[in-house]
Amino acid sequence: MGAMQMTFSDEKKPTPTSGKVKMAARDVKVFYGDNEAIHGVNMDIMENEVVAFIGPSGCGKSTFLRCLNRMNDTIDICRVTGKVTLDERDIYDKSLDVVQLRAQVGMVFQKPNPFPKSIYENIVYGPKLHGLVNSKSDMDEIVESSLQRAGLWKEVKDRLDSPGTGLSGGQQQRLCIARAIAVSPEVILMDEPCSALDPIATSIIEELIDELKGSYTIAIVTHNMQQAARVSDKTAFFHMGDLVEISETREIFTNPKDRRTEDYITGRFG
Ligand SMILES: Nc1ncnc2c1ncn2[C@@H]1O[C@H](COP(=O)(O)OP(=O)(O)OP(=O)(O)O)[C@@H](O)[C@H]1O
């Protein structure tokens, strides 16, 4: 694949970044039992940027992503060492409230997973849990604003009481994004958010990511290199548990420093 065929996110509006490190990983290792799946990763994720994680299947993209909001805690045999910070605070600190962390660092999964409840309830569940809403009008407001931000309001405003699971796949994924937004996250993690979607639903999500950056910091795992180029400011290339390189997306795709990155982006393996 030549760079000429790619559309890069920097051809669109530039990201208004603050230049501040939002999340940082230092010597992060992840073990599944005795198997070390991530080998000492160091990474800075800048505020309001979109960073894409790419690399061959099994290289550890999802495992590393899950370190950023402690989702690996939910896997019994999984152990994380090293340090991950959010605004310089250690997110693995014993005193940290993990439920609160997962509101600040929200997550959208590969397969849309709305709760088996109404569209309205899907949105207000998190805000209620976190005590962000006190009245029906607070809830109505958060439902509307979250669905607006996720680009779904117009399509669902007349059927907020219908089940979220009755929406199309692409709509369900936007509902899941709205649900994440409803608890005012600072970072949104997306694990292959488009892989279950058709091309039209995919392009709607990609446009949405473009809208959301600037307000949120976004890390996205993708198998699709064109997608990484289209949506991300920075790209991180993983290979066999190592972060090989992270750089401006255009740089990674046009001038990679490491031979392994070059081989991957030119389709020689992967
Ligand atoms: N729950 C688990 N239990 C044991 N090993 C796991 C588990 N999840 C992942 N692994 C192992 O960790 C390594 C990295 O897997 P991971 O899913 O993070 O890679 P990935 O790059 O996201 O892959 P893909 O692109 O195929 O989703 C692999 O060797 C995988 O087998």
Strands, DSSP E only, in the chain? 21-32, 35-46, 50-54, 78-86, 89-90, 105-108, 187-191, 217-221, 234-239, 242-248
Q: What is the ipTM of this complex?
A: 0.97
Predicted pLDDT of residue 267: 86
CB 64 within 8 Å of CB 38:
yes
User: Is 262's pLDDT higher than 80?
Assistant: yes
- Reported as a pLDDT band with limits 50, 70 and 90, residue 13 is low
Predicted pLDDT of residue 12: 67
pTM for the whole structure: 0.93
Residue 139: CB within 6 Å of ligand 1?
no
Q: pLDDT per residue over 121-173, tens digit each?
A: 999 999 999 999 999 999 999 999 999 999 999 999 999 999 999 999 999 99
Place of tokens 């020689």: 268
Q: Exposed/middle/buried for 136, CB within 10 Å: 0-12, 13-18, 19+?
A: exposed
Residue 48: CB within 6 Å of ligand 1?
no
Q: Whose Cα sits closest to atom 28 in ligand 1?
A: 58
Q: Whose Cα sits closest to atom 11 in ligand 1?
A: 37
Q: Whose Cα sits closest to atom 24 in ligand 1?
A: 57
Place of tokens 């569209």: 119
User: Is 243's pLDDT higher than 90?
Assistant: yes
User: Is 182's pLDDT higher than 50?
Assistant: yes
What are the beta bridge partners of residue 45?
Answer: 23
Domain map of the chain by residue range?
3-113+183-265
Superfamily of domain 3-113+183-265: P-loop containing nucleotide triphosphate hydrolases (3.40.50.300)
Q: Whose Cα sits closest to atom 9 in ligand 1?
A: 63
**Pairing status of strand 105-108 against strand 187-191:** parallel
Mean pLDDT of 82-94: 97
Predicted pLDDT of residue 14: 61
- Alpha-carbon radius of gyration of the chain: 18
User: Is 2's pLDDT higher than 50?
Assistant: no
Predicted pLDDT of residue 103: 94
Q: Cα–Cα distance between 167 and 156 in angstroms, integer?
A: 9
Predicted pLDDT of residue 102: 95
Q: pLDDT per residue over 184-237, tens digit each?
A: 999 999 999 999 889 998 999 999 999 998 899 999 999 999 999 999 999 999
Q: Cα–Cα distance between 55 and 261 in angstroms, integer?
A: 8
Q: Cα–Cα distance between 78 and 58 in angstroms, integer?
A: 15
For the CA of 65, the closest atom of ligand 1 is: 18
